[in-house]
Amino acid sequence: MLRGVLAAGTAFTLWGVFPLYLRLMKQVPSLEILSHRVLWSVVLLLSFLAIRRQWDWLASVRARPRILLTFVASALMLCTNWVVYIWSVNHDHIIDASLGYFITPLFNVLFGIGLGERLRLTQWLAVALAACGVVWLTVNAGQLPWIGLVIAVTFSLYGLLRKTAALGALEGLSIETLVLLPAAALFLLLPNAGSSHAFGNDATRCR
Residue type, 127: V
Using CA atoms, how far apart are residues 113 and 160, in angstroms rounded to an integer? 12
Using CA atoms, how far apart are residues 39 and 46, in angstroms rounded to an integer? 11
Average pLDDT over residues 104-124: 84
Using CA atoms, how far apart are residues 58 and 6, in angstroms rounded to an integer? 31
Cα distances (angstroms) measured from residue 85 to each of 6, 54, 98, 157, 191: 25, 31, 9, 16, 25
Instruction: Give the confidence band of 46 by pLDDT, cuts at 50, 70, 90.
Output: very high
Using CA atoms, how far apart are residues 39 and 78, in angstroms rounded to an integer? 14
Average pLDDT, the chain: 84
Is the pLDDT at 109 greater than 80? The verdict is yes
* pLDDT for residue 116: 81
- Quick count: other Cβ atoms within 10 Å of Cβ 102? 17
- Asked if residue 17 belongs to a domain, the reply is no
Is the pLDDT at 206 greater than 50? The verdict is no
More confident residue, 81 or 102: 81
**Read out DSSP for 8-33?**
HHHHHHHHHHHHHHHHTTTTS-HHHH
- Asked if residue 22 belongs to a domain, the reply is no
* Residues above pLDDT 70, as percent of the chain: 92
Is the pLDDT at 113 greater than 80? The verdict is yes
Average pLDDT over residues 163-172: 85
Number of domains into which the chain is organized: 1
- Asked if residue 10 belongs to a domain, the reply is no
More confident residue, 137 or 156: 156
Residue 174, helix vs strand vs coil: helix
* pLDDT for residue 194: 52
Range of the domain at 185: 29-194
Residue type, 55: W
* pLDDT for residue 5: 86
| Among candidate residues 41, 35, 48, the one with its CA nearest the CA of residue 183 | 35
- Asked if residue 140 belongs to a domain, the reply is yes
- Asked if residue 160 belongs to a domain, the reply is yes
- Quick count: other Cβ atoms within 10 Å of Cβ 116? 6
* pLDDT for residue 16: 81
- Asked if residue 85 belongs to a domain, the reply is yes
Using CA atoms, how far apart are residues 102 and 122, in angstroms rounded to an integer? 19
* pLDDT for residue 195: 54
Using CA atoms, how far apart are residues 88 and 154, in angstroms rounded to an integer? 15
* pLDDT for residue 106: 86
* pLDDT for residue 89: 87
Instruction: Give the confidence band of 10 by pLDDT, cuts at 50, 70, 90.
Output: very high
* pLDDT for residue 193: 59
- Asked if residue 98 belongs to a domain, the reply is yes
- Asked if residue 81 belongs to a domain, the reply is yes
